[in-house]
Amino acid sequence: MRRVLIAGGSGQIGSALIASAPSEYEIYAPDSRRLDIKDSGSVANAFAEFMPELVINAAAYTAVDKAETERELAFAINAAGAGHLARACQVAQTPLIHLSTDFVFDGTKASAYREDDEPNPLNVYGESKLEGERQIIDAGTPYLILRVSWVFSSVGTNFVKTMLNLAARDTLRVVDDQRGTPCAAADIAATLWACAKTFETNRVGALMHFSSIPPTTRFGFANAIFEAAEALGIVSRVPQLQRVSTDRYPTAARRPLNTLLDSSRLQQSVAFEPPDWRISLHHVLRRIAGLPSMEP
């Protein structure tokens, strides 16, 4: 069995990775008390204890607005933490798979972002994730950096659960000029396991984009959430959604208006077919409501 160390196993993607791990992998996913990626010593101890043959970093500071006032912590996890893992992987000659974000871009491009487009983050969160990418690349270990967007699942904090928590309101303002694609953590996890197999024969450095279909806006995503939740009987009433522009909905952190990601490179590398997030949304809503799974 191949030993896989997962950092951030309690998060959205980490939980999905553990739940869907193929039988040929032995998983070690210690909590943050046993693996604190902010601490290089803690990382070294985890490597010495488990001797991983693959590392997947799903640990991240993702509080986008709070990061504006918690810059040091965001960089400690997203940048320095990624660097600690990468350098430990380089010493052990262990490949690293790392999750990054669409927020490394400024959103001014009219079409979907490709991997060779110049990053220009608008907020501290994006800056910290971009620095994490750079530290991994500079470490010299075989790596795959996979950028994802608008992650949702039945665990953790995400847009789907936020919308459900606000379902009792009469009206709800949602921005309608931020474009992207929601990505289910389970779909990302399945793709990561497919990518892991490529490391068995192709230990290189790669940067790729994960994307689902079809593109939408935050408003469109919210509308789909409430329509599906109402159809499943998860909510008894649906608030009236009001479209609002980003400039009329101020937040602590600036948001890019376009974070569509072009996943062509991923499709060519692992025969990836972009999943339909609307189907994945139904599966996630059923899990949140405790309904029987309809997944194959």
Q: Please tell me the distance from the alpha carbon of residue 80 to that of residue 136, in angstroms, as a whole number.
A: 10
Q: Please tell me the distance from the alpha carbon of residue 75 to that of residue 96, in angstroms, as a whole number.
A: 19
Residues 6+ apart with CB under 8 A from 245: 175, 176, 177
Instruction: State both tokens at 180.
Output: 């992207």
Instruction: State both tokens at 224.
Output: 């789909």
Q: List helix spans (H) across the chain.
A: 12-19, 40-50, 71-75, 82-92, 124-139, 159-165, 185-198, 218-231, 264-270, 277-289
Q: Is 125 a catalytic residue?
A: yes
Q: Please tell me the distance from the alpha carbon of residue 234 to that of residue 194, in angstroms, as a whole number.
A: 33
Residue-level length of the chain: 296
Q: Please tell me the distance from the alpha carbon of residue 117 to that of residue 107, in angstroms, as a whole number.
A: 11
Residues 6+ apart with CB under 8 A from 254: 122, 123
Q: Please tell me the distance from the alpha carbon of residue 27 to that of residue 4, in angstroms, as a whole number.
A: 5
Catalytic residue among 28, 61, 113, 125: 125
DSSP H or E segment with residue 148? strand 143-148
Q: State the amino acid at position 45 in one-letter form.
A: N
Q: Rounded to the nearest 5°, which phi and psi values hold at 162?
A: -65, -45
Catalytic residue numbers? 125
